[in-house]
Amino acid sequence: MLNCAVIMGRLTADPELRQTPSGVSVTRFTVAVDRGYVKAGEERKADFINVVAWRQTAEFVSRYFQKGSMIAVQGSIQTGSYEKDGVKRYTVEISADNVSFCGSKSETGTNGAPSTTATTAAPSFSNGGLDDFAAMADDDDLPF
């Protein structure tokens, strides 16, 4: 089974480090992720993804990131539910396994980020010329 989520976007607020009763560090934050497609004449839209980070990852995020910082998050999707005022509500969030800087040091801020911060562009994917292959292929030529 596979449950892997990777997002890149900007923090919507300063992350706040907290401790569980047993002393484990945790922080929750929201990442605004721009959608890739923009309809003509409309503004770019974003999705707001909730993230939770634990232990050293939580401490790292709360120390080096702030509102507006570009961040890349790799983790797994977790769902949950709770009841409020007699109504069942559902939650979806990413449990962060790894977080990374994305953007120049000036974009990251001057709050002590390591000098290893590098500019990173979002990967771009191509179909590797599959359109050309599909145009050449004929169903009669396929062995199945």
- The model's pLDDT over 13-31, given as tens digits with 9 standing for 90+, comes to 999 999 999 999 999 999 9
- Distance CA(72)–CA(120), nearest Å, equals 10
Which pLDDT value is given to residue 114? Answer: 41
pLDDT given at position 6: 96
Domain ranges of the chain: 5-141
* Tokens at 73, concatenated: 């998050």
pTM for the whole structure: 0.69
Q: What pairing do the DSSP bridges indicate for beta strands 25-34 and 87-101?
A: unpaired
105 confidence band (pLDDT: 50, 70, 90): low
Give whole-number Cα distances, 87 to 79, 92, 93, in Å: 17, 17, 20
Q: Which residue, 82, 93, 97, 100, is CA-closest to 30?
A: 93
The arrangement of secondary structure in 5-141, i.e. its CATH architecture, is Beta Barrel (2.40)
Q: What is the pLDDT of residues 71-96, one digit of tens each?
A: 999 999 999 999 999 999 999 999 99
Instruction: Classify residue 71 by burial, with Cβ atoms within 10 Å: 0-12, 13-18, 19+.
Output: buried
User: Residue 64: in which H helix or E strand, if any?
Assistant: helix 55-64
